[in-house]
Amino acid sequence: MRGMRRDNIVLVGFMGAGKSVCGRLLARRLGRCFVETDDMIVAREGRSIPEIFREVGEERFRQLEAEALEALALKSGEIIATGGGLPCREGRMELVRELGTVVWLDGDVRELHARASRIGDRPMLDGRSLAEIEALYRLRLPYYRRAHIAIDTRGLGADQVAARVLAALREAHAVRA
Ligand code: S3P
């Protein structure tokens, strides 16, 4: 199946961009299944993301993300929300793009940081200053920019973001509904 693009919709973007909420809304509107890479990893490992980071470290977590990505190759027609760091390694974005139409939810890094900090449970934020988070965001930009579609979420609520994503998908002929 390598090289063949399936018809999933894959949401990528920094922590706090609203990938999960928007993914659920899209799944409901389109009558499709929703799956999240973080949930796949937590279910497989039987422990939370902060526990995985604490007990086996970030590198192992990134390997688990690679495995989740492989498992996703079996899916089609689903809405997939990825962890913020999943596409940000050499070769990852190519694999992500093979799954279907990739939508990047972008926003102002300060807003993303504020939202992600409110929700909590994000080991990548622990002990990092806002300047460090901004640097991490900048490092990740070249990967996110390889998405097929980019949506600026600044100032928008989840419903409005989902509506914009749907409109962009229709325009790209990625969905019929
Ligand atoms: C991470 C983002 C998280 C989760 C893990 C690492 C990252 O997902 O995968 O904590 O490296 O940006 P969200 O983007 O859903 O917060």
At 150, is the pLDDT very low, low, confident or very high (cuts 50, 70, 90)?
very high
Question: Does position 176 have pLDDT exceeding 80, yes or no?
Answer: no
**Residue 104, helix vs strand vs coil:** strand
Query: Quick check: CB of 85 below 6 Å from ligand 1?
Result: yes
What value does the mean pLDDT of the chain take? 95
**pTM, 2 dp:** 0.96
Q: Is residue 175 part of a domain?
A: no
Residue 132: inside a domain: yes
- Region 169-176: what's the mean pLDDT? 86
Residue 56 lies in a domain: yes
Number of domains in the chain: 1
Q: Give the tens place of pLDDT for each residue, 38-62.
A: 999 999 999 999 999 999 999 999 9
Distance in angstroms (rounded) separating the CA atoms of residues 134 and 138? 6
Cβ neighbour number for residue 115 with a 10 Å cutoff = 16
pLDDT band (50, 70, 90) for residue 5: low
* 6 CA distance to ligand 1 middle (Å): 24
Domain, as residue range, for 156:
8-170
What's the mean pLDDT in 124-139?
96
Query: Whose CA is closest to atom 4 on ligand 1?
Result: 83
- The HSE-up count of residue 91 (CA atoms within 13 Å, CB side) is 4
Give the residue-averaged pLDDT of 65-90.
97
Does position 11 have pLDDT exceeding 60, yes or no? yes
In-domain check, residue 98: yes
Question: For residue 60, what pLDDT is reported?
Answer: 98
Cα 127 to Cα 35, 53, 112, 116, 137, distances in angstroms: 29, 14, 17, 14, 16
What was the pLDDT predicted at 138? 98
Q: How many CB atoms lie within 10 A of CB 100?
A: 22
CATH number for the domain spanning 95: value is 3.40.50.300
Does residue 3 carry a pLDDT above 60? no
pLDDT band at 1 (very low <50, low <70, confident <90, very high): very low
Q: Is 23 in the pocket of ligand 1 (CB under 6 A)?
A: no
pLDDT value for 173: 83
Mutation to probe ligand 1, out of 52, 122, 139, 140 (largest number of atoms < 8 A from CB): 122
Q: Is residue 81 part of a domain?
A: yes
Q: Ligand 1 pocket, 13 CB below 6 A? A: no
Is the residue at 104 inside a domain?
A: yes
Tell me if 87 CB under 6 Å of ligand 1. Answer: no
In testing the pocket of ligand 1, which one of 124, 125, 134, 141 has its CB within 8 Å of the most ligand atoms? 124
Say if 176 falls within a structural domain: no
Task: Read off the pLDDT of residues 81-100 as tens digits, 9 standing for 90 and up.
Answer: 999 999 999 999 999 999 99
Dist. CA 109 → ligand 1 center (Å): 14
Give me the pLDDT at residue 175, please.
83
Asked if residue 177 belongs to a domain, the reply is: no
